[in-house]
Each structure stands twice: as structure tokens, then as C-alpha cells.
Structure 1
Amino acid sequence: MRLFVGIALPEDIRDRLRSLSGGLPGARWVSLENLHLSLRFIGEVPGGDERDIFEALKALDLPAFELTLSGLGSFERRGRVYAVWAGVEKSEPLSHLQAKVAVALERTGFEPEHRKFKPHITLARLKGGKVPEVAQYLQFHGSFAVGPFRVAHFTLFRSYLGNGGSHYEALVEYPLKSPTPKL
């Protein structure tokens, strides 16, 4: 079973992100239902080991928070763009949640992630995307911003290949605490 931990996006936010699709030759746009913010990729997990993950994530006790999406960017490798993404404004609660998820997974025996956490939502994947075309697309949509929106839970997802590419299935939603009202 191939797993990752992420934040599912509200429907209205996904709709706004979907409005960015198009205008980029060769892009494979992420389907509306697959738009999410990854907190930690886990990878293949042997049958039965997922119980340890379920329990480790269930033990996290963190508050709900708000996020705002702002700006677009791309990931490049060897002078070619391979992904276009929507950025996430700096958020201490998000960074804290991601760090706690990482520690919980390490305690269950998973290797630490060696890449620095860069919160983003992948919008499209490209094979050998040309930098000038992508730069023009990013400039055109450069003022994109949406939110804030409330993050009330995070999710353990299963990823599998099916007709039309990858599909994500929410296995478990872990609620975040609502703040205590001030009296």
C-alpha cells in the first residue's frame, strides 16, 4: 500500500485552483479531486504496518488553523520544468503540524525525509517543460491568491494507479482541535 499524509482542500479552494488549468502546452493537470497539500510522503508500506501509522498519527494533538494560498511557482531539474504549483503563505501552525507528522512517522520506524518541507499544491506535471513557456504562464497568473481557509483535519491517503493516472483515497481523517473560545 502506497501512503502519504496531506491536507485535503475545501471544494471552493479546489475550484479556484482548477481555474488555473490550461494555457500551458504539454501540461498534465492534476484532477480536481486529487488537489491537496502534502505533509509527508511515506511510500510503500507492507500489509499490516499501516496500523502503526494510524496509531502514531492519531496521537497527535494539535489545533486547527488557517491557510492562504499565494503565488505560483515551478520545480526544475536540469533546465527543464517538471511541475507547476500554487504556493502557501508562511504558516507556523502548518510547519508545526508537518514537523509533528514527520516525528511520529520516524518513531514508527520510517526514515526521515531529507528534503526541506516546501508547502505547495501541485497543479500540473510536465515532461521536459520549456522554461520560457512556463515563465510566461507563471507571470500571467502571478497574482493568484485565495483564502484564508480553515484546516480542521489532516488525512492519511492511499495512492494507487488506475485509469487516467494516480488516484488518491482518504483512509483516515485526523481532526485538529478547535481553539478554546476566550471568555
Structure 2
Amino acid sequence: MIRTFIAVELPDKFIPEIKKIGSALDMPGIKLVEPEQVHITLKFLGDIKESDVDSILSALSQINCRQFEAKIKEVGVFPKLAYIKVIWLGAEGNFDVLHDEVERVLSLFKFEKDHHFSPHATLARVKQLRDKSLLLGNLKKLEHIDLGMMNVGSILLKKSTLTPAGPVYETLGEIRLKD
């Protein structure tokens, strides 16, 4: 079994800004995502059989969604400021249509449906926060950040291997969206 998810990768041009954001969030109790690994998860599939990879990629190739421009901006939190577990970078664009198409083409596989999809890229996970007021102050400074535009031209089926140093991602396949 392999742990998998479907993602949109952020372009390398955003890495320097993600590193700057990370340095503002880097404090005890916060586990940062490596800037090169920050991505938008369209759907977490969980554990699948390796033998299912080709049929999942084949299903994903049936997605009916055109390429689109997306804006990457704003830093926020889940579930709420009073109880922060995840710090994220916002994504605006045709992600709801793309997510709905992913759900549609994968419905035969009986994956659990995502009922509250919110396009974002996880920047950090909060483990045990020691200085909440410092974090809240830094989040306030970052909330209106704007990294700019990107083209969403493909989606990736990714394998995630959990290690003590953090997850290691491997691309199992790429599906291009329609022009």
C-alpha cells in the first residue's frame, strides 16, 4: 500500500517568498513545510494499492477542466485563530471546478468525499505553541501577502512517504488540463 494524494504544485518563483513567510513563522512548536514541498492538495486519497495507480491516472485523465490562472495570496489558519492547527497560503481560481471534477472521475473508487474543500497550500502545522501572541502578531503582518499569479495547467498524483525528518513526496503521474 502507498499513501497518496492529488495536488497542484506551486511554481518555483514562489519559493523565495514562501521562505520569507516561513522565517516569520519559525518558532518553537511550529513544524514548517519545506518551501519546495508546499503544494495545493486537491484530494487526499490515503493508502492505495500500487496496482491501482494506472487506473487512477486513467480516471484522472477524464477530468473536464480547462487550464486556469490562479492567485496565491493571504496567510490564514485552520480551524480558527483561537485554536491554530494549520497555517496556510490561500489560493484563488477555478479550484472548486477542478476539485469537483477530481471527485467525479474518482467516484468509482469509493474514496471518502471531501465535503469542505478549501483551496490552500499548507505552510506549517502547529504542534505545541509556546508564544501565541508572537505568532498572532506575525500572522497579522502576513495576512494580506500576495505572491502573485500562476497557471494551473496540470495535476499530479503524488506518493507520500512519512519519515522522521518529514514527508518525502514522489510524483507517480501528471495529468495535463485542457488548453
- Pair in the same fold by TM > 0.5: yes
Count of aligned pairs between the two proteins: 175
Q: How does 1:99-114 map to 2 (within 5 A)?
A: 99-114=100-115
Of residues 23-32 and 60-69 in structure 1, the stretch that sits farther from structure 2 once superposed is: 23-32
TM-score with structure 2 setting the length: 0.89
Q: Conserved in 1, the CA contact under 8 Å of 2:64 and 2:101?
A: no
Q: Which structure shows the higher helix fraction? A: 2
- Tell me which residue corresponds to 2:121: 121
- Tell me which residue corresponds to 1:181: none
For 1:106 and 1:86, locate their aligned partners in 2 and report how far apart those are by CA, in whole Å.
28
Q: How does 1:2-13 map to 2 (within 5 A)?
A: 2-13=3-14
- Tell me which residue corresponds to 1:85: 88
**CA 144–175 in structure 1, closer or farther in 2 if over 3 Å, else same:** same
TM-score with structure 1 setting the length: 0.87
RMSD of aligned alpha carbons: 1.9
- Tell me which residue corresponds to 1:55: 58
Secondary structure in structure 2 of the residue aligned to 1:171: strand
- Tell me which residue corresponds to 1:157: 158
Q: Conserved in 2, the CA contact under 8 Å of 1:56 and 1:108?
A: no
For 2:15 and 2:81, locate their aligned partners in 1 and report how far apart those are by CA, in whole Å.
30
Report the CA distance between 1:161 and its aligned residue. 1.6
Secondary structure in structure 2 of the residue aligned to 1:102: helix
**CA 61–76 in structure 1, closer or farther in 2 if over 3 Å, else same:** closer
| Structure 2: 5+ residue stretches without partners | none
Between the aligned residues of both structures, percent identity stands at: 28
